[in-house]
Amino acid sequence: MSKAVIEVKGLHKIYEGAVPVKAVNGIDLVISEGEFTALKGPSGCGKTTLLNLLGGLDQPNSGSIIIDDTDITGLSDNELIDFRLHHIGFVFQAYNLIPVLSATENVSFIMLLQNRSKDERMERAHQLLEAVGLAGKEDKRPGELSGGQQQRVAVARALASKPKFVLADEPTANLDSESTSKLLEIMLQLNKQENMTFIFATHDNRVIAKAKRVVGISDGRIVSDTSK
C-alpha cells in the first residue's frame, strides 16, 4: 500500500458575494505516493480551487489538508511559504518563467531559495533539463523557446526542489497536440522512474486519457473516482 501524500477531510471553500459560491463543497480525498491523477470537470466546477487549496495558495473556510503529517490549514503565511518551498511543485497554464533568466537559472532559482550550493543547483538543473528533453537549451531564455519547451522548463523547475508532489493547473491548455504529447510522455516517465506524484486540474481529454486515476468534480463535489 503506497503512503498517502495528501489527506483531505471535509474541505469547504466559499467565495462571498451577492450570491455566495460554494467552490469546494465538502470534499474528502486521499492521494497516494506515485499517483498520476487528473481532476476533471467543466470550467467553474471547483477543480482549480481545490488544486490551489492543496498547494496552500488559498485557504479553506473549513476542513483539513494533511501533507507529510502537517495540516497546512493551520500554518501562518510565512510557514506556508516555507512549506510550499520544500514540499510542493507547481506547473501553471501560463508557464510563469522569469523572462530575463536562462532555462538553467529558472530551474535552479527555487534551489537558490533553499540555500543549496551553486554546484548542486547547476548539476540538478542540467540533469532535469536533460530529463525533459532540453539538453543544449540550458542557456536559452523563455523568449527563445517554443511554448512546449517553456512548459518543459516549468516541469523541470517544479521538480527541482524534490517536492512531495507536483500540482499542474491546465498545463496543456496553451500547447498544440505534438507538444502536449511530448509533455505528457515526459511526466509519465518521471512518474514511473522517480515515483513522482502528479495531480492535474484539467478538462483536456488528452491528459485525462493518460491519467491513472480520474476524479470527476461537479459543483464543488467529487462525483466520480476511477482508477485504471
Output the tens digit of pLDDT for each of the chain's 228 residues: 678 999 999 999 999 988 899 999 999 999 999 999 999 998 889 999 999 999 999 999 999 999 989 999 999 999 999 999 999 999 988 888 999 999 999 999 999 999 999 999 999 999 999 988 999 999 999 999 999 999 999 999 999 988 999 999 999 888 889 889 988 999 999 899 888 999 999 989 999 999 999 999 999 999 999 998
φ, ψ (nearest 5 deg) of residue 34: 85, 5
CB 17 within 8 A of CB 174: no
Domains of the chain by residue range: 4-227
Identify the sign of the CA torsion 35, 41, 43, 44.
negative
- Residues 193-212 have pLDDT tens digits of 888 999 999 989 999 999 99
CB 107 within 8 A of CB 125: yes
Count CB neighbours of 217 within 10 A.
25
Distance from C-alpha of 142 to C-alpha of 98, rounded to nearest angstrom: 8
Q: From 3.40.50.300, 3.40.50.880, 3.40.50.2300, 1.20.120.10, which CATH number describes the 4-227 domain?
A: 3.40.50.300
DSSP strands (E only) in the chain? 4-15, 21-32, 36-40, 62-67, 70-71, 88-91, 165-169, 197-202, 213-218, 221-227
- Residues 63-107 have pLDDT tens digits of 999 998 999 999 999 999 999 999 999 998 888 899 999 999 999
